[in-house]
Amino acid sequence: MPAFILTAGILIPFGYSVVMSFTDFNLTSGTSNFIGFGNYIKLAKDPEFWNALKVTILFTIGAVAIEVGIGFVSAYLLNLGMRGQKIWRTLFLLPVMLPPAVAAIMWKLMMAPIQGVFNYLLQLVGLPGSQWLGGSSSALFSVILIDAYVFMPFAGMIFLAGVQNLPKEPYEAAAVDGVSSWFTFRRLTIPLLKPVILIVLLFRIMDCLKQFDIVYAATKGGPASATMTISVQAYYHSFRWTNMGYAFAHLVVLWAIVYVLSYFLVGQWRKAVSEVHGY
């Protein structure tokens, strides 16, 4: 089947990466020698790698928390009946379809410290401006904000679909029994939405862990290493310093983390789906 051949186009580079991560392959010199776990041992001792891991995890936690939190609230709001519902929903999901790199450039324009509109608006309400992407302490938060801008509607949209597919009967029963609405939400809505919540977590966590476009387009990993995620770090190792073997080791570790996590989340999701259908 041709599909197998074309997907082999992925598997071959993939295997190539794994194999090469055990070599000291250098693009400039063109040499590659098998060095066993050398790259991985170097990785474990490399403070820059640990920094990149920390940045990646912080980025993921921050972005996913905002996206899930605000996404949930917006799904709730958009689900209430109102005039012009369709238009609201369309406007709401526009950012999802933007090229993330373009969104990053847009935000970069707005986050400019001197003429940027954000600092102007902050100043209007009497708050001090920020260095945003240029400040070593604010840069990570700024890229988290950009990711949240693009993907919050993704979470909101999926939550909305989940809320709209909720069965009616359990709620009618709860109303008859006179249960408080908080109790209904906690014991009925959350468990019923569990599969949808897990899907959002799965997609967002995986995407954030490997995030490259937004970070690279907005800060290129800087200032210093404040936004240096593992993907961006691997990019530098490979295309700036032509240290391919070492870059591959970064990527294989990242991929392993992603794979284990996604395996776990997919398992949880399957379980949740079968539980909900058991209702």
Site for another protein in 153-192 (CB under 8 A): 153-154, 157-158, 161-162
End-to-end Cα separation, the chain, in angstroms = 41
Give whichever of 35 and 96 is closer to another protein, judged by the CB atom.
96
Neighbours of 181 (CB within 10 A): 10
DSSP secondary-structure letter at 236? I
Give whichever of 8 and 173 is closer to another protein, judged by the CB atom.
8
From 35, 57, 93, 276, residue interacting with another protein (rule: CB under 8 A): 93
The distance of closest approach from Cβ of residue 99 to another protein in the complex, given in angstroms and rounded to an integer, is 4
The distance of closest approach from Cβ of residue 71 to another protein in the complex, given in angstroms and rounded to an integer, is 10
Per CB under 8 A, which of residues 35..54 are in contact with another protein?
none
Stretch that binds another protein, among 38-46, 86-94, 125-133, 183-191 (CB under 8 A): 86-94
Q: How many residues does the chain have?
A: 279
Give whichever of 226 and 251 is closer to another protein, judged by the CB atom.
251
Task: Tell me if residue 34 falls in helix, strand or coil.
Answer: strand
CA-CA distance, 11 to 262, in Å (whole number)? 19
Of 216, 208, 70, 210, give the one whose Cα is nearest residue 139: 216
Give whichever of 173 and 254 is closer to another protein, judged by the CB atom.
254
From 26, 262, 268, 276, residue interacting with another protein (rule: CB under 8 A): 262
Per CB under 8 A, which of residues 218..257 are in contact with another protein?
230-231, 234-235, 238-239, 244, 247-248, 251-252, 254-255
Using CB under 8 A as the binding rule, whether residue 91 contacts another protein is answered as yes
Give whichever of 57 and 258 is closer to another protein, judged by the CB atom.
258
Task: Tell me if residue 23 falls in helix, strand or coil.
Answer: strand
From 102, 127, 173, 175, residue interacting with another protein (rule: CB under 8 A): 102
CA-CA distance, 8 to 92, in Å (whole number)? 38
Using CB under 8 A as the binding rule, whether residue 98 contacts another protein is answered as yes
Rounded to 10 deg, the angle between the 38-45 and 244-277 helix axes is 80
Stretch that binds another protein, among 40-48, 127-135, 180-188, 199-207 (CB under 8 A): 199-207
CA-CA distance, 142 to 195, in Å (whole number)? 30
Using CB under 8 A as the binding rule, whether residue 210 contacts another protein is answered as yes
Phi-psi group of 126: left, alpha or beta (phi > 0 → left; psi -120 to 50 → alpha; rest → beta): left
Q: What is the dihedral of CA 117, 120, 121, 123, to 10 degrees?
A: 160
